Every structure is written in C-alpha cells, then in structure tokens.
Amino acid sequence: MAESSEKHIKDLQNETIQNVESTTEPSPDDAVIDPLEKIKLFVEKTESMKEIAKEKNEQLEQQFKELKEKLSSSSEYLMRIKKNIENLKFSYQKNVSEMQKHLDPADCLENRTPETKHDIGKEMEEIRRKIETLQARVKEQTDKHQHVTEDYKSAFDKVVDTLEVIESGSFSSQDLRNKSK
C-alpha cells in the first residue's frame, strides 16, 4: 500500500509538472481559460497529494502506537522474569543457609556424648558421610541453579538486544526469525 501511495504521488507530480511546462498556442479566449484550468488542476492534485500524505501519516502513527504497546508489554515481561530470577536466587540462598545449619558438627556432638574411642570414630564417620552427602546435594543444587540462571540471563540478553534494535529503528521481523533459528 505504501508503494502504491508513493507511486500515485509521483505520478501526480509528474503529470502536474508536464501540464505546467506544456505550452500551446493559446487563442485569445484560451489565454484566460487555460491558465485558470491549469491552476485548478494543480490545486486538485495538490489536495490529492495532501490526502495521501495524511493517510500515510495516520498509518505511521498507528504503527508507532502498536510498537509502543509491544515495547510496554515486553518491558513488563522482562520485569516479571527479573523478579522470578531474584525469587529463585533468594530461595537458593535460603536453602543453602538451612543446609549449612544442618552441617554443623557441633550440634551432633552436643546431643550425645560417646563413651569410647570406637563410638567416637563411628560418629565421626557418620558425620563425614552426612557432610559428603550434603555437599553433593549442595553441588547438585548449585549446578541446577546455575543452569537456570544462565538460561534466564541468555533469554534476557536476547530480549534486551531485540529491544535495542527496535529502539534504534532498524528492527526487521526477518532479523528476529533468523536469530530464533
């Protein structure tokens, strides 16, 4: 539609220029009528070009409004993702601190007093096993959390890059399709 509007405007401009430039041998009666007709035709074409320009401007304003709405919804989505990442981080830190409380060997020894060296050795081995198990679980949770955080960060970076491209005015939906492949 934009190409047809531009073509129509150029056709009208060319036709107007040709009409103004064309000179004919005017008769005395035509001398009064011919310039008035040319002026009238010129005014009509100018009005037509104004209408086309007005329609084009309205289309651009509508597209700009839609783009603003998309940016707004994208910003809201990014804020939700950021909040989710912060919640995950908080719960992860909370879980780590709870596990550290359970790892405190002094708590285990306070509850019971072993009587022999053999009992102490067994308890030490049991504590060592529990610590290794908890360390393995902490490492597993850390790796899992790291993977989720990296996924969120890469998705967030992609969205930020796309928004920057949109903001710079060089956005193309073709670019978006190419990036998603």
Label residue 88 exposed, middle or buried (CB < 10 Å: 0-12, 13-18, 19+).
middle
CA gap 30, 46 in Å, rounded = 23
95: containing domain: 2-180
Q: Report pLDDT for 165.
A: 79
Question: Phi and psi for 33 in degrees, rounded to 5?
Answer: -80, -45
Give 9's contacts (C-beta < 8 A, 6+ positions apart): 49, 52, 53
Q: pLDDT, tens digit, for every residue of 72-131? A: 888 888 888 889 889 988 888 888 888 887 776 555 555 556 578 888 888 889 999 998
Determine the average pLDDT of the residues in 27-49: 80
Residue 152: band (very low, low, confident or very high) from pLDDT cuts 50, 70, 90 = confident
Q: How far apart are the first and last CA of the chain?
A: 30
Give the global pTM.
0.35
- pLDDT score of 54: 95
Query: CB–CB of 94/172 below 8 Å?
Result: no
In the chain, how many domains are there? 1
> Is 60 exceeded by the pLDDT of residue 11?
yes
The pLDDT-based confidence of 23 (bands split at 50, 70, 90) is very low
